[in-house]
Amino acid sequence: MSILDEILEGVREDLEEREREVSSAELRARVDDLPPPLDPLPAFRGPGLSIVAEVKRRSPSKGALAEIADPALLAREYEAGGASAISVLTERRRFGGSLADLAEVRKAVDIPVLRKDFVVSPYQLWETRAWGADLALLMVVSLPGGLLDDLYGLTRELGLTAVVEVHTEAELERAANIGAEVIGINARDLTTLEVDRSVFPRLVEHVPQGEVRMAESGVSGVADVMAYRDAGADAVLMGEVLVRSGRPRATVEEFIRAAR
């Protein structure tokens, strides 16, 4: 069993518990009362490099990263620094996140919010929308067969923007085939947790023209951000380097200035 398989096993167990507590009908009712999601595409496709700044407490590869007592405050710092969107990790067991974090961040900022989790079920997308997110992460590696197509279709029905994440050429081909508008190229192999920054420049040339190219993982400083920009990234998603910096607003500002 790979590390990813272990994570997904826990995700499904937690999902079953939430499904017992909140029915699908209740989620749909919540969604009906919400304003439309925010559209991140104008920022991602605009001039300059977009920063997607992440609220991230832990990771399977590094363990505890930062004590984040107030995710809303952190998100406001990111927004003040110029981030184009906020990513919130909601997986509980390995990342220490929650849907409560997502709700707090949504209330605190005026820019799009991404729910970052291991989505394997339509229920999770209804959750994503019900708790106020504007974007949802779909990891191709964990969505076999027609499940990727079905979940991508549901994101569109709900008005969510999907970040379709890939790590290999075969996964990128599947993302392109469903018409993904935002393709996240993750330098981290989720089955081993190893990081290879060469993955982005190798795959980005195969992203269909006009689609948003988002680099994920492997950012430890300005040089990495510049390398992703020079390789063709429209946006860079980062978490660890920001939460460990102790100065999230200034660090986002620094990366944006360097990317100009």
Quote the CA–CA distance of 43 and 50 in Å, as a whole number.
7
Catalytic residues: 54, 56, 116, 165, 186, 216-217
Cα 101 versus chain centre, distance: 14
Neighbour tally for 45: CB within 10 Å: 15
Token output for 171: 């996964």
Count of CA atoms in the C-beta half-sphere (13 A) of 238: 28
Report which DSSP code applies to 188: B
Compute the distance between CA of residue 218 and CA of residue 167 in angstroms, rounded to an integer. 13
Check: CB of residue 60 under 8 Å from CB of residue 245. no
